Amino acid sequence: MCFLKKESEILPKDVLKRLKKDFEDIDEMNKIKRELEVIFQRQWNVGSAQLVRSVLYLIQGDVIKVNDYKTILDPRDIISEAEHKSNGKYNYFNDKI
């Protein structure tokens, strides 16, 4: 038996909180949320929560920047980029943002 999570439960709570903080416009926030949910639900060779936290950190509240992360070839590159830009603040985005 397979149970689907409610839409509001797909992303980690810290990601949802950061979305609300970074995007005051509800339409922009929902657009980014949908994009992150797509990323989160795919199978990766890294943690999905780690990857969506990294993407959210890198887009820095800019809805246009999410397009840079729609095609992900190696998610480790994104996590490394975010780790570098954050100066190691989030432990390779295993920690909450």
Residues 6+ apart with CB under 8 A from 75: 44, 45, 46, 51
The answer to whether residue 28 sits within a structural domain is yes
82: amino acid identity, one letter: A
pTM of the model: 0.86
The answer to whether residue 94 sits within a structural domain is no
Task: Return the beta strands (E) in the chain as ranges.
Answer: none
The answer to whether residue 55 sits within a structural domain is yes
The answer to whether residue 46 sits within a structural domain is yes
Using an 8 Å Cβ cutoff, are 97 and 90 in contact?
A: yes
CA-to-CA dists, residue 97 to 2, 4, 17, 78, 86, angstroms: 30, 25, 9, 15, 11
pLDDT given for residue 2 in this prediction: 41
pLDDT in tens, 12-65: 999 999 999 999 999 999 999 999 999 999 999 999 999 999 999 999 999 999
The answer to whether residue 95 sits within a structural domain is no
pLDDT in tens, 81-94: 999 999 888 887 88
Residues 6+ apart with CB under 8 A from 73: none
- Domain that includes residue 48, residue range: 10-85
Based on the structure, what is the number of domains in the chain? 1
The answer to whether residue 40 sits within a structural domain is yes
The answer to whether residue 77 sits within a structural domain is yes
The answer to whether residue 92 sits within a structural domain is no
